Amino acid sequence: MRHFEFPSRAVSVGSNGMVATSNPQAALAGLDVLRAGGNAIDAAVAIAAMLAVVEPTQTGIGGDCFVLAKKRGQPPIALNGAGWAPRAVSADHLRDAGLTSIAADNVNAVTVPGAVRAWERLAADHGTMPLAALFTPAIAVAEHGYLVTERLARDWALNAAKVSATPEAREIFMPGGQAPRLGDRRTNPRLGRALRSIASDGADAFYTGWIAEDIVSALRRRGGVMTLDDMAEYAPEYVQPISTEYRGYRLWECPPNGQGIVALQIASMLNAFDLSAYRALSAERFHLQAEASRIAYAQRDAFLCDPKFHPVDVKQWLSAERVRQWVAQIDPDQRNAHLPLVPMPEHKDTVFIAVADADGTVVAFINSLFDDFGSGLVASASGVLLHNRGCGFSLEAEHPNEIAGRKRPMHTIIPALLTKDGEAVMSFGVTGGHFQPAGQLQVLSNIVDYGMSVQQAIDHPRMLARGDLLELERTVPESIWDDLRAKGHSPVVATNPLGTCHAIWVDQSRGVFLGGADGRRDGMALGL
């Protein structure tokens, strides 16, 4: 039970459905779909479309998505909606041009956006309502306007230079040369037209029609090598979810090319320690989670890639022997100073959607532009803001994640499901690029190891350890900073709140949904 005298959020409750995401208008769009008789898949797609309009810093139809879903009595399914690099891209050519990494605003950072085909596939296979109905709320706000929320206004202002760098982006996102303030109204009628085309003609409007031509033309004008064939031949794919046990529960993730395996590695290592023996907010707990995270991220940065181009042996990565080897590297009293360091670009901006319906379907859905406002490049006729997911590739020769044509980059966005006795008990996700695996385990541990409510678990102070970096949120007491320094860490203040989490806990015995939303963004959880 929370302390009602202190500022905090209440857990949302419902018995006929629940939505949780980062924007109130998007949450209401999903709830309206459930009220109209749609299922959890329908609601998730409607929310994703709305977020593509009202949170342009985080997501859009020019990005990628991953989905985990589970129906009652059935195994989880996973859909990989990560786009691929253009066939003509060349790592050698980029290195010859003097590049050692792919910058956020480089045209080669734009891979084929995978989200729209993934939405269509998911809705067709598992939904009950047509895209036209699911897109209607998003089209309305694109054409007639939405009000800018508090965190959105903050992030927009911080990225004013980025969306002023090209005339196409400036015209849509910086009219008059000013970022919007809290409560200002914004529109994107060109995006509204694109959404209308997709609603009417399906994803082909995006991948083979006028929107594809608009995207390819915008990139080619800036020296990109994407073609209409790269767009037209892309398709999402169903993949086999991967999982591991955590304290009697089973944690499910999407397989590589996503980094969900990193969350499973961290969980597997933490299973060797009784975290509940320490306070939830303590240097001892943070140290153990930091060391497990550092080991898992080092493995990720060295080996994780598109398994169609280089094998990623999930069973070996999660084998009992491998986990024992990692755990042996963790000293409960001292930081390991000898882990390998592999540089990776920073990336942090994503939206997560959790939905559950009365029929027992639970959905974890994540969509992203990669950086704030993605690449900053806009296809002018359609108003589509293009992601820069190609930043996740390596330019190191023969690295497993080296960029190549029709290859998908190492992906940071990861939805998660938790099951017990074969049934879903939680849909959750934590945005924030690199932070996502570590963040998921912090939220999960808060609930399983410390008995927190889903909302308390989200509100709890966070940390991120990767390589030599240990970031702490400002809410972490100074005494813990001192104790972490004594263990060999050099903690620094996180420049931004560490990720945002939205989650739905399913109380199977009572048929009740308990939802949590993150105050680090403008999140909302609503139940029926």
Tell me the two tokens of residue 132.
């036209």
227 is catalytic: no
pLDDT of residue 347: 47
Burial of 333 (0-12, 13-18, 19+ CB in 10 A): exposed
Over residues 92-108, mean pLDDT:
95
pLDDT > 90? residue 342: no
> 4 pLDDT band (50/70/90 cuts)?
confident
Instruction: Name the region of 217 (left: φ>0; alpha: ψ -120 to 50; beta: rest).
Output: alpha
* Run of H or E including 20: strand 17-21
pLDDT of residue 276: 97
In one letter, which amino acid is 113? P
> 5 pLDDT band (50/70/90 cuts)?
confident
DSSP three-state, residue 383: coil
Of 152, 147, 131, the closest CA to residue 195 belongs to 131
What average pLDDT does the structure give for the chain? 95
Residue 81: strand pairing partners: 65
pLDDT of residue 348: 52
Q: Specify the DSSP class assigned to residue 233.
A: T
Please give the share of the chain, as a percent, with pLDDT higher than 70: 98
pLDDT > 60? residue 344: no
pLDDT > 70? residue 341: no
Q: Specify the DSSP class assigned to residue 497.
A: -
pLDDT > 50? residue 350: yes
pLDDT > 70? residue 349: no
pLDDT of residue 320: 95
Tell me the two tokens of residue 407.
């290859």
CA dihedral 431, 116, 262, 419 (to 10 degrees): 90
Of 42, 45, 63, 50, the closest CA to residue 22 belongs to 50
Measure the CA–CA gap between 497 and 275, rounded to whole angstroms: 24
Of 60, 116, 106, 388, the closest CA to residue 234 belongs to 116
Q: From the candidates 59, 350, 412, 500, which is the catalytic residue? A: 350
Cβ contacts of 238 within 8 Å, gap of 6 or more? 77, 78, 79, 80
Question: Rounded to a whole number, what is the largest CA-CA distance in the chain?
Answer: 62
Over residues 247-264, mean pLDDT:
97
Q: Is the whole-model pTM more than 0.85? A: yes
pLDDT > 70? residue 393: yes
pLDDT of residue 323: 95
Structural domains in the chain, sorted by start: 27-238+351-392 (no CATH), 239-346+414-527 (3.60.20.40)
Burial of 479 (0-12, 13-18, 19+ CB in 10 A): exposed
Please check whether residue 14 is in contact with residue 527, taking contact to mean a CB–CB distance below 8 angstroms: yes
Summarised one tens digit per residue, pLDDT across range 431-453 is 988 899 999 999 999 999 999 99
Of 386, 387, 383, the closest CA to residue 187 belongs to 383
Tell me the two tokens of residue 83.
């786009």
pLDDT of residue 8: 76
Helices (H), 354-434: none
Please give the share of the chain, as a percent, with pLDDT higher than 90: 94
Measure the CA–CA gap between 75 and 133, rounded to whole angstroms: 28
> 1 pLDDT band (50/70/90 cuts)?
low
pLDDT > 80? residue 343: no
pLDDT > 90? residue 385: yes
Over residues 501-526, mean pLDDT:
96
Measure the CA–CA gap between 443 and 161, rounded to whole angstroms: 34
Summarised one tens digit per residue, pLDDT across range 256-312 is 999 999 999 999 999 999 999 999 999 999 999 999 999 999 999 999 999 999 999
What's the Cα-to-Cα distance from 330 to each of 123, 324, 469, rounded to whole Å? 44, 10, 17
Q: How many CB atoms lie within 10 A of CB 281?
A: 15
Cβ contacts of 54 within 8 Å, gap of 6 or more? 23, 25, 26, 141, 146, 149, 152
pLDDT of residue 460: 97
pLDDT of residue 340: 67
Summarised one tens digit per residue, pLDDT across range 125-156 is 999 999 999 999 999 999 999 999 999 999 99
Measure the CA–CA gap between 527 and 505, rounded to whole angstroms: 12
Of 480, 456, 439, the closest CA to residue 285 belongs to 480
Over residues 25-35, mean pLDDT:
98
